[in-house]
Amino acid sequence: MYNFRQDFIHFAVQQKVLRFGEFQTKAGRLSPYFFNAGLFNDGISLRNLSQFYAQAILASNIQFDMLFGPAYKGIPLAAGTAIALAEQGRNVPYCYNRKEAKDHGEGGTTVGAKLQGRVLIIDDVISAGTSVRESIDLIRAEGAEPCAVVIALDRMERGQGDLSAVQEVRLSYNIPVVAIATLNDLLGFLQGTPEMVENLTAVQTYRDLFGVKNDPI
């Protein structure tokens, strides 16, 4: 079977979106790796990223009717993923929100297709979960139903308590969170890539200190 998760990690390293060293997280922890999805910032990298999102969605077998991209990072992700899904034979509408409601022209807080049916939220990562919570509230306010969240990388890292932000979203809203790749996939990649294996010990130590238990989709 085509291992798109390992290929995604390799792609992120090539694009320097995933880097190794010493980085301070928002929680004040010193992380041996850093993932910045904002660096998928040209046409080819966005196309490839969108194809990985589409593969993760199709592999998950989640039933959905449309895509939603939270402003701002989720906007190109939702649009690109809609294109990638269409190339795979699955043409679905997509929508995104404005940060501020528009009071002229078509007005409203969303752009694109009408929010309806089962809505799949496309985002880059889940840190505090704020973007996802706002998206879920907006989707439900329009009478639609959020059915899942898809992200690029699940760091599988504890927040303030024993759960990760991803686990908290799953528990709070009873919806699946699908990641193209997880920290476990990253560890597998490092172990199987001789030129990168020097980073394995630091990442595994960080996982042991701050990681959550495996949480299968």
Query: Which residues are marked as active site?
Result: 102, 104
Q: Are 178 and 151 in contact, with CB atoms under 8 Å apart?
A: yes
Strand partners, 108: 102
Query: Two tokens at 84?
Result: 């990638």
Which position has the token pair 């996982």?
207
Nearest alpha-carbon partner for 147 in 84, 53, 80, 65: 65
Virtual torsion, Cα 180, 165, 34, 8, nearest 10 deg: 0
Cα gap 191→126, rounded to integer Å: 25
| β-sheet with 66-69: strand ranges across | 108-112, 94-102, 66-69, 118-122, 145-154, 177-182
Q: Measure the CA–CA gap between 136 and 200, rounded to whole angstroms.
A: 36
